[in-house]
């Protein structure tokens, strides 16, 4: 039986609508992840927005999307001056390089440098490995359900207009 100081994330609260406890648990995970991102940023002389920028650039690379300043600004919700400031900081730290697009020499692409990827793996690797171990304990149907839930939840957040 949980004590009164520790929430039991497995049991819905009786005064909450069905499944709201899952929303609270998802929020707790995102808050914990955000705290880890902030810790990574502080340890490595970065602003938390810089870490989000690196994540956006890595996501774009995985999706084979051209990583431009415009894409980064749109994903981070920054104006062009703010986007340039983030890119300049990351470039100064050696985490990002500006490179000419080989297909359109007028366009500048952003690339996360291998040293920054290694730095991220050193810090986040144990957490990612832990999550992968959790997922390995799920059968394929359960993983499919988790995937469906997270994809649909991401769609909700991505489609809601920002205040």
Mind giving me the DSSP string for the chain?
---TTS--TTS--TTSPTTHHHHHHHHHHHHHHHHHHHHHHHHTT--HHHHHHHHHHHHHHHTT----HHHHHHHHT--HHHHHHHHHHHHHTTSEEEEE-SS-TT-EEEEE-HHHHHHHHHHHHHHHHHHHHHHHTS-HHHHHHHHHHHHHHHHHHHHSPP-
Instruction: Give the pLDDT score at 13.
Output: 52
Instruction: Give the pLDDT score at 156.
Output: 92
Check if the beta carbon of residue 113 is closer than 8 Å to that of residue 97. yes
Q: Phi, psi at residue 7, to the nearest 5°?
A: -70, 145
| Alpha carbon distance 81, 78 (integer Å) | 8
| Alpha carbon distance 114, 127 (integer Å) | 20
pLDDT tens for each residue of the chain, 163 residues long? 444 444 555 555 556 677 899 999 999 999 999 999 999 999 999 999 999 999 999 999 999 999 999 999 999 999 999 999 999 999 999 999 999 988 888 899 999 999 999 999 999 999 999 999 999 999 999 999 999 999 999 999 888 776 6
Query: Token pair 């890119």 is at which residue?
Result: 87
Report pTM: 0.81
The contacts of residue 21 (CB under 8 Å, 6+ apart) are 9, 11, 12, 13
Check if the beta carbon of residue 40 is closer than 8 Å to that of residue 120. yes
């Amino acid at each position: 039986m949980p004590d009164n100081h520790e929430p039991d994330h497995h049991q819905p609260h009786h005064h909450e609508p069905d499944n709201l406890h899952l929303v609270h648990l998802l929020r707790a995970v995102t808050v914990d992840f955000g705290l880890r991102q902030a810790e990574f940023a502080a340890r490595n002389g970065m602003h938390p927005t810089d870490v989000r920028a690196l994540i956006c650039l890595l996501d774009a690379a995985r999706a084979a999307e051209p990583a431009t300043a415009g894409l980064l600004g749109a994903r981070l919700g920054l104006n062009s001056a703010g986007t340039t400031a983030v890119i300049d900081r990351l470039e100064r730290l050696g985490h990002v390089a500006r490179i000419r697009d080989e297909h359109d020499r007028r366009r500048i692409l952003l690339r996360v440098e291998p040293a920054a990827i290694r730095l991220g793996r050193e810090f986040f690797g144990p957490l990612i490995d832990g999550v992968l171990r959790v997922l390995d304990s799920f059968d394929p149907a359960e993983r499919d359900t988790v995937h469906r839930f997270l994809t649909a939840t991401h769609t909700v957040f991505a489609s809601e207009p920002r205040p």
